[in-house]
Amino acid sequence: MRSLSSRTAVVAVVILFWVNGLGFGVYAAALPTFKTRFDLSPFMLAALFLLISASAITAMQVCGRLVDRIGARRVALAAIVPLIVAAVGFALVPSYPVLLCTGVLFGLSNGAIDVTMNAIGVQVEQRRGRPIMSFFHGMWAVGQLAGSGAVVVVAWATGWSGQAPITAVALGVAVAAVAALAVSVRITPQTAVVAHTSTGGAKTPIPKAAYLLGVMAIAFGVGEGTATDWSGIHLTQVADVAPTVGSTAVAVIAAGMTVVRLVGDVLIARFGRRGVVRVAGAFAAVGYAMAATVSSLPLLLVGWGLVGLGMGLIAPQVYAVAGHTAGGRGLAVVVTFGYAAFLVTPAMISSLMATIGIQHAMAVPAVLLLGLLVLARVLPRKDDDPLLSQRA
């Protein structure tokens, strides 16, 4: 079995993050097209988001226990299979009911991979003895950028519109996920498991700190969920551009997240997790404030870029601290909080859209993200972080 401290283990975790981001990228970029093609009302969009949310949360709860019982490896590999099927579904979806069914599969896969990739990633970081979670999440952003950006590139290069570019890219994602599964079977390492009592309950309690980190996860989940599911539709409606141009917002966010996460571990080593998260929260809040107040295409893209730069650094640090201080069960709790917010928030924004409009709804994540400046006190300063202190 591969060692958790090996370079091969790093590659295995990168693949998991990348393929999950790839699937999310094409899903997010396809939303403006699905809305136009099936004439989706805010209620119909909310139903889709809620189904995906419920499926993902269910998968997180089940997989969190499975990770403790049998390790993350087998759960992660199994979770790629429904992602493959969901990608084919997004490519060929003929109707709204089929879109809902595809969303369920997508949610199950996303929830399972979210828990397992972070569980493996945290143990790899522990064994290597230096920050690497930002890099792993950067690979998620690379995947998201590839998925969403491919839709824009294919539409521009071919002149296709509507479903055609979505079909081409989603089928490509399915092929890429099959290849990722084939490689992952060979190189993904096994993680440590938690001892269990005879009745099946985990002995290790969940510390209170995990719930405080969970509150932070809700805050950034609101920001990421809104950006992923609504940025393309927001740009389409506020800037009055075509749906394929609206997908540019998703690509800009992914680009910002990618850039900042690739240098994130250096920033963490220099300034510590608490300071970096506070600055990142401020960036994201300013970006959302722009989305809520301006209407020109260039300024909106700047705003969404700031959202990407800010959001890119928050989740990796919250999850890393959860894994280091609260173990596998605590990490599962924090991941569930974050992705529950990530997936449920778009449905909330959908309801707000029906009452105050999509642009004014962007003020909600702007206000909530400002709360991270206070909540970041939960994170260690550089001098208090054992992982950073041991490198000094």
Q: What are the sequence ranges of the domains in the chain?
A: 7-192+206-381
Residue 299 has pLDDT above 80, yes or no: yes
1 pLDDT band (50/70/90 cuts)? low
User: Can you tell me the distance from the alpha carbon of 113 to that of 136, in angstroms, rounded to the nearest whole number?
Assistant: 13
Total residues found in the chain within this entry: 392
DSSP letter, residue 207: P
Residue 339 has pLDDT above 80, yes or no: no
- Average pLDDT (357-371) is 91
- Average pLDDT (272-297) is 93
Average pLDDT, the chain: 87
The burial of 47, by beta-carbon neighbours within 10 Å (0-12 exposed, 13-18 middle, 19 or more buried), is given as middle
225 close to 367: Cβ distance less than 8 angstroms: no
Residue 69 has pLDDT above 70, yes or no: yes
Q: Which of 64-78, 199-213, 284-298 has the lowest average pLDDT? A: 199-213
Q: Which two tokens stand for residue 154?
A: 């294919």
- Average pLDDT (179-203) is 74
In the prediction, which pLDDT does 148 show?
A: 85
User: Can you tell me the distance from the alpha carbon of 273 to that of 172, in angstroms, rounded to the nearest whole number?
Assistant: 37
Please list the residues that pair with 202 across neighbouring strands. 196
In the prediction, which pLDDT does 198 show?
A: 40
User: Integer distance in angstroms from the first to the last C-alpha of the chain?
Assistant: 32
- Average pLDDT (363-385) is 86
Q: Which residue has the higher pLDDT, 106 or 193?
A: 106
61 pLDDT band (50/70/90 cuts)? confident
- Average pLDDT (104-111) is 94
Please list the residues that pair with 196 across neighbouring strands. 202
CB-based contacts of 95: which residues, under 8 Å, 6+ apart? 38
- Average pLDDT (50-77) is 87
DSSP letter, residue 196: B
Q: Which two tokens stand for residue 371?
A: 């709360």
User: Can you tell me the distance from the alpha carbon of 338 to that of 319, in angstroms, rounded to the nearest whole number?
Assistant: 9
In the prediction, which pLDDT does 230 show?
A: 86
Q: Which two tokens stand for residue 329?
A: 């069960």
Relative orientation angle of helices 163-187 and 72-92, to the nearest 10 degrees: 160
- Average pLDDT (239-258) is 84
Provide the CATH number for the domain formed by 7-192+206-381 in this structure.
Answer: 1.20.1250.20
pLDDT in tens, 115-137: 899 989 988 988 888 889 989 98
Q: Which of 62-76, 213-227, 341-355 has the lowest average pLDDT? A: 341-355
User: Can you tell me the distance from the alpha carbon of 358 to that of 95, in angstroms, rounded to the nearest whole number?
Assistant: 25
Quote the distance between the C-alpha of residue 279 and its chain's center. 20
CB-based contacts of 290: which residues, under 8 Å, 6+ apart? 299, 300, 302, 303, 306
Q: Give me the percent of the chain exceeding a pLDDT of 70.
A: 93
Residue 196 has pLDDT above 60, yes or no: no
Q: Give me the percent of the chain exceeding a pLDDT of 90.
A: 42
Q: Which residue has the higher pLDDT, 194 or 307?
A: 307
Q: How far is the CA of 126 from the CAs of 117, 121, 324, 334, in angstroms?
A: 14, 9, 8, 18
181 pLDDT band (50/70/90 cuts)? very high
Residue 264 has pLDDT above 70, yes or no: yes
Residue 39 has pLDDT above 70, yes or no: yes
191 pLDDT band (50/70/90 cuts)? confident
194 pLDDT band (50/70/90 cuts)? low
In the prediction, which pLDDT does 178 show?
A: 97
User: Can you tell me the distance from the alpha carbon of 71 to that of 54, in angstroms, rounded to the nearest whole number?
Assistant: 24
In the chain the beta strands, taken as DSSP E runs, fall at: none
In the prediction, which pLDDT does 42 show?
A: 81
CB-based contacts of 156: which residues, under 8 Å, 6+ apart? 244
Cα–Cα nearest to 51, from 360, 357, 350, 355: 350
- Average pLDDT (322-337) is 77
